[in-house]
């Protein structure tokens, strides 16, 4: 089986992690993987390290015929069986590529929660017929896809997953920043972009500051275009002593290993890898009730709490509950580990996606007979 993973921007976010996980599991074992991208980034370096044949193809718009022809040519030259896309632009171009090379099977994974307009709904209705499957990483995403005109029969919810391993505790990051053992540590692994709710997070912390006598600190890891803007806001609100901005880090497990609570206050979210990674370390989570977070935290899986986006007072009160209630943290920690092992094991995702690949090719073999 030969699989081409097609993406516009080869960056370092959750979608790129998803592609890395698929390639790690399949390449050289179950399949031969290939990679095509428009804008370069860390994912290209990863593919090079894995020995994955890669090609850069300009994709100026969702209807770039030139890109479609180049993709078709690449698929023909390399006998590609499957193209797996991650965003609408690449998916539309992949559909167009079938005008020039019909043999490939198309798969798309939807990582976005976006309501599209009437024109897009018509386009989605027409083009999604050509996908074998449209994977949604959360149930809310499936509802959104249907509302956006994607053929309901093509959609399948397949949750993101993480490797299951034993949680551990470490004071390495505490010691790095001189954080005392009795300080309650709240962490956030994020990007400094508007949808990640950094303004909301800072406002929530500002509310929280006068609500407890217990020492606490927030470790905020990540980078992005809003870093300086958020830094200034932290200074303006006098919160520099309780918010430590770590910048981009590659030691997320160590950050989580010293954390008592994890927060994700995004305005929109599909199904966050960061939340899953926190729960996988047994760290309770306070998150906004958006997108797929309710697939993770709900009455059947009480491993944290959900709050309404932009309600800083509610967010502060919910975080306060964990700061002041050790038993709550303990019970949520145990539930977190059980939830991840039961519902978000990466092998569930990997096995399901690969099974759908195989079935699509078997269907073609049956037609040929």
Residues of the chain with pLDDT > 90: what percent?
Answer: 97
Output b/e per residue, 243-273; b: 16+ Cβ within 10 A: bbbbeeeeebebbbbbbbbbbbbbbebbbbb
Q: How many CB atoms lie within 10 A of CB 327?
A: 7
- What pLDDT shows up at residue 369? 43
Supply the pTM of this predicted model.
0.93
Residues 6 or more apart whose CB falls under 8 angstroms from that of 49 comprise none
- What average pLDDT does the segment 38-61 reach? 98
Identify the band that residue 367 occupies on the pLDDT scale cut at 50, 70 and 90.
Answer: low
Residue 365 confidence (pLDDT)? 58
Q: Domains of the chain by range and CATH?
A: 2-161+346-368 (3.40.50.2000), 172-343 (3.40.50.2000)
Nearest to 297 by CA among 349, 262, 346: 262
Cβ neighbours for 325, distance < 8 A, ≥ 6 positions apart: none
CB of 160 closer than 8 Å to CB of 271: yes
Query: Is there a contact between 165 and 197 (Cβ–Cβ < 8 Å)?
Result: no
Say yes or no to pLDDT of 234 above 90.
Answer: yes
Residue 357 — very low, low, confident or very high, per pLDDT cuts 50/70/90? Answer: very high
**Could you give the CA distance from residue 160 to residue 147 in angstroms, rounded to a whole number?**
22
Which two structure tokens, joined as six digits, stand for 277? 């990674």
Per-residue H/E/C for 129-143: HHEEEEEECCHHHHH
Q: Burial of 51 by CB count in 10 Å (0-12 exposed, 13-18 middle, 19+ buried)?
A: exposed
Mean local confidence (pLDDT), 33-58? 98
């Amino acid at each position: 089986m030969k699989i081409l993973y097609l993406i516009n921007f080869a960056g370092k976010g959750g979608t790129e992690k998803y592609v890395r996980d698929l390639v790690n599991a399949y390449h050289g074992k179950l399949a031969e993987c290939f990679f095509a991208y428009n804008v370069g980034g860390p994912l290209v370096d990863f593919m090079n390290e894995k020995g994955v044949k890669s090609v850069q193809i300009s994709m100026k718009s969702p209807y770039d015929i030139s890109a479609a022809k180049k993709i078709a040519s690449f698929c023909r030259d390399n006998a590609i069986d499957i193209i797996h896309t991650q965003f609408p632009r690449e998916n539309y171009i992949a559909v167009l590529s079938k005008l020039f090379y019909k043999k490939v099977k198309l798969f798309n994974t939807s990582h976005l929660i976006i309501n599209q307009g009437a024109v897009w709904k018509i386009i989605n209705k027409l083009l999604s017929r050509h996908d074998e499957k449209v994977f949604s990483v959360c149930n809310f995403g499936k509802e959104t896809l249907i509302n956006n005109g994607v053929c309901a029969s093509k959609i399948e919810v397949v949750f993101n997953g993480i490797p299951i391993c034993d949680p551990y505790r470490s004071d390495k990051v505490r010691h790095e920043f001189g954080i005392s053992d009795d300080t309650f540590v709240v962490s956030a692994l994020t990007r400094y972009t508007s949808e990640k709710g950094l303004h909301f997070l800072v406002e929530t912390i500002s509310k929280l500051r006068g609500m407890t006598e217990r020492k606490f600190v927030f470790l905020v890891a990540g980078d992005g275009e809003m870093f300086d803007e958020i830094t200034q806001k932290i200074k303006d609100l006098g919160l520099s002593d309780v918010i430590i901005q770590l910048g981009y880090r590659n030691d997320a497990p160590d950050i989580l290993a010293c954390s008592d609570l994890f927060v994700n206050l995004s305005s929109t979210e599909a199904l966050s890898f960061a939340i899953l990674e926190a729960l996988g370390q047994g760290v309770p989570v306070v998150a906004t009730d958006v997108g797929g977070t309710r697939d993770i935290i709900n009455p059947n899986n009480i491993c944290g709490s959900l709050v309404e986006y932009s309600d800083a007072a509610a967010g502060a009160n919910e975080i306060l509950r964990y700061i002041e209630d050790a038993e709550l943290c303990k019970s949520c920690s145990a539930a977190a580990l059980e939830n991840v092992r039961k519902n978000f094991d990466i092998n569930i995702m990997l096995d399901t996606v690969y099974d759908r690949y195989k079935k699509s090719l078997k269907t073609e073999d049956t037609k040929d007979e």
